[in-house]
Amino acid sequence: MTPVFDESRLDDEEALSRADGVLRPLAEAGARVRREAGGAAEAIEAAVAANAGETRPRAVVAAGPDSRLLRAVLEPWCPVPFVAWPGPSLPGWAGSLDLVAVLAPEGSDTGTASAVAEAVRRGCQLVVACPERSLVADHAAGRHSTVLPVTTGDQLATAVVMLQFLDRLDLGPDSDPEEVAAALDEVAISCSPYRDLAVNPAKMLAIALADSLPLVWGGSVLAARAARRVAESIRRTSGRAALAADAEHLLPVIEAARRHDVFADPYAAPYDDLSDPEAPDRRPILVILDDGSDEPSVREQRSRLEAAARERDVRVEVVSTEAPNEVARYAALLASGTFAAAFLGVGLDHVGGGPG
């Protein structure tokens, strides 16, 4: 039987307690960022001092499966050529003139360890954010290697540590960990499970998503990445479809939506597949993740999406943030959307997934 969304569960203590394994890690995200930044502070200072007076690397290579997050942050800012290389190796040209940056929150991935070992063998400048006692740390031992210690296994907190280091070397944007943590704390407070749904933006968004097909869009590179992560969380916590894509891929879905029939019975459930009485016709809902980007191309794409949504009577929900730096804005949008996904799972009584 298709699960039925019950919004009363969103303020029900028993239902919320069953989702504690999903909601608690979201609430603790800011604390994890502070813990990782504080734990790695000494290593960062030592590495920055060791690099004092050194020339900039020829290029920066972000290696390993978590390299795409670094790419989303660094590509628009890095003053030297930058490449993300998610496979278990390095580009053929990478050598002693290049800096290899690796995120390994768990430190146990064999492919990441292989890329790290190759960087050491080639004599690359290497910086790895990983647990000190781990497979990746063991392979990182070398003359030109720096290990930034992490302990929580949190991808975002680990990335903040790395970005703080690269910021100190003038290779990336401002990534103040306290600003990121404060943005996450602000979302945790406004989206707290103990905050009534009437004033809780994540619960209200979950209600809007309940009977819809979520189409999640972010215009900037970081907002687009947050959109993909939010869509993943919706699928995981609800067991339902959700799509994150560029504007040109979302527009056909919006434009294919049937217009509302003003004469239709508002209490009758429409169905796409009449042979399956439990298959509801879920109208799309456009969820815009707004990180404040004022790029003309972003404004133009958003305008096209909103115009198509108005034309087809498709509901539009906007998640926005006023966090002070790009990484903090990414973190806030991701946390807001993931809270909404978690509450969607609570309303459906489907809480087996995690926050991602």
* CATH code for the domain defined by 30-175: 3.40.50.10490
Q: Are 326 and 292 in contact (CB under 8 A)?
A: no
Query: Is pLDDT larger for residue 75 or for residue 301?
Result: 301
**Residue at 159: amino acid letter:** A
Please enumerate in sequence order all residues whose Cβ is within 8 A of that of 181, keeping only pairs 6 or more positions apart, or say none: 30, 31, 33, 34, 37
Interatomic CA distance for residues 309 and 315, integer angstroms: 7
Q: Output the pTM of the full model.
A: 0.92
Question: Residue 332: its pLDDT value, please?
Answer: 98
- CA gap 140, 121 in Å, rounded: 10
* Nearest alpha carbon to residue 293 among 233, 243, 225, 342: 225
Q: Name beta bridge partners: 84.
A: 62
Ranking 26-30, 53-57, 267-271, 341-345 by mean pLDDT, the lowest is 267-271
* Fold matches, 7-19+193-260+274-347 and 30-175: yes
The 10s digit of each residue's pLDDT in 289-338 is 999 999 999 999 999 999 999 999 999 999 999 999 999 999 999 999 99
What are φ and ψ of residue 218, in 5° steps?
-130, 135
**pLDDT score, position 87:** 85
Residue 271: the pLDDT is 44
Strand partners of residue 82 = 60
Identify the pLDDT of residue 66.
84
- Pick the closest to residue 239 from 341, 336, 340, 339 (CA basis): 341
Compute CA distances 97 → 56, 57, 58, 118, 182, whole Å. 9, 6, 5, 15, 37
- Above 50 in pLDDT, residue 276? no
* pLDDT value of residue 93: 96
CATH 3.40.50.10490 fits 7-19+193-260+274-347, yes or no: yes
Angle at which helices 155-168 and 177-190 cross, to 10°: 150
pLDDT of residue 266: 54
State percent of the chain over pLDDT 90.
Answer: 85
Q: What is the pLDDT of residue 1?
A: 61
Q: Which pLDDT score is estimated for 274? A: 36
Query: Could you tell me the pLDDT band of residue 3, with boundaries at 50, 70 and 90?
Result: confident
pLDDT tens digits along 92-121:
999 999 999 999 999 999 999 999 999 999
Confidence of residue 350 (pLDDT cuts 50, 70, 90): confident
pLDDT of residue 275: 37
Cα–Cα distance for residue pair 36/203, rounded to 1 Å: 29
Could you give the CA distance from residue 115 to residue 88 in angstroms, rounded to a whole number? 5
Mean pLDDT value across residues 15-43: 97
What is the predicted pLDDT for the residue at 278? 43
What's the mean pLDDT in 137-151?
Answer: 96
The residue ranges of every structural domain in the chain are 7-19+193-260+274-347, 30-175
* Averaged pLDDT, 197-224: 96
How distant, in Å, are the alpha carbons of 218, 309, 329 from that of 320? Answer: 10, 19, 9
Query: What pLDDT shows up at residue 277?
Result: 40
Amino acid 280: pLDDT: 52
